[in-house]
Amino acid sequence: MKLMIVDDSSIMRRAIGKYLAPLGLDLVATASNGQDAVDLFKTNLPDLVTLDITMPQMDGLTCLSQLLAVKPTAKVIVISALSDPATGLKALKLGAKSFLPKPFTETQLVEEIRRVAGLPS
Amino acid sequence: MTENELKFFIDVVTTYFGQVTAEPASMGIPFVKKAEPVVLGYTGLIGISGPRKGGIYFTAGSRLLAELTKVILGVEDADEETLLDMVGELTNTIAGNVRKSFGGDFLISVPMLIKGKPDDILMRLKPPVFVIPLNWRKEKAYLVVGLE
């Protein structure tokens, strides 16, 4: 299963990659803003995306719609510090499979990815 | 800004350190910022727009940020770029998390990152500006909030 990580923080990109490494996913791309994410998504067509919201150039919710227009079957997990219920609901309405608020623990992230990706525990 | 709103920020910082590091930060008594600058080596600044206007910044020294990076990534000797990224992500998380209390129209910018100690940071902050001191692993840091 091909994975893409989108977050403007390099620490978050590295942390997500490190926490998910034991799952054996194929990390095909990382991006630090929504526009780069759309471009890399079209090239790599990942099956699973972790997507931040507050990013420069293009925010994550705008990016989410564009990603799903390219590949509607992609499973997108929005991971954001914007933890008010309305933001999470908006992400789900736009087609995200899940919303994980920051800060998160390694266990929370791995469990959420397993659930969304349908991986065994 | 009310005392209750100030508590929203304190609770978010407490939760952040407790959840990410399992070692809660020790929160100090907030005070109103006077003329003296409150700036340490690395600062993340976020502008707030919507019905509440102003800004917040989190400022810390290299040791606190390096320790935090070590907890998250398990790496020693974080470089300057990583320390700046850490303070930016921390500030972003605090600002985003208080939306649970302030509501979805509490709009936050991407963080502006500042290395070094400028004379002061006043941009975007609306007086009165409140300073929330904290200590984590014996290292000090400040969350500074100025909202209309």
B122 pLDDT band (50/70/90 cuts)? Answer: low
Judge whether residue B12 has pLDDT over 80: yes
Contact A9 B88 (CB under 8 A): yes
pLDDT exceeds 70 at position B120: no
Q: Is A108 within 8 Å of chain B by CB?
A: no
CATH 3.40.1550.10 fits B3-52+80-138, yes or no: yes
If we measure between CA atoms, which residue out of A108, A98, A53 comes closest to residue A74? A98
Q: Is B85 on the interface with A (CB under 8 A)?
A: yes
Enumerate the domain spans of chain B: 3-52+80-138
Contact B99 A82 (CB under 8 A): yes
Q: What is A2-117's CATH number?
A: 3.40.50.2300
Residues B21 and B42: their CA atoms lie apart, in Å, by: 20
Q: Is A100 on the interface with B (CB under 8 A)?
A: no
Q: What residue ranges do the domains of chain A occupy? A: 2-117
Check if A89 contacts B (Cβ < 8 Å).
no
How confident is the model at residue B35, as a pLDDT?
Answer: 82
Looking at residue A11, its pLDDT comes to 97
Q: How far apart are CA B112 and CA A89, in angstroms?
A: 28
**CB of B147 closer than 8 Å to CB of B52:** yes
Q: Decide if A80 and B96 are in contact by the 8 Å CB cutoff.
A: yes
Tell me the mean pLDDT in the region A24-39.
98
Q: Which residues, in sequence order, are bridge partners of residue A78?
A: A51, A99
> Nearest-CA residue of chain A relative to B107?
A82
Longest dimension (CA), chain A: 37
Cβ-defined contact of B89 to A87 (cutoff 8 Å): no
Give the chain A residue nearest B91 (alpha carbons): A81
Smallest Cβ–Cβ distance between B82 and the set A11, A84, A103 belongs to A11
Cis peptide before A101 (omega within 30 of 0): no
The ipTM value here is 0.92
Question: Do residue A83 and residue B99 have CB atoms under 8 angstroms apart?
Answer: yes
What's the pLDDT at B71?
Answer: 96
**pLDDT at B97 > cutoff 80:** yes
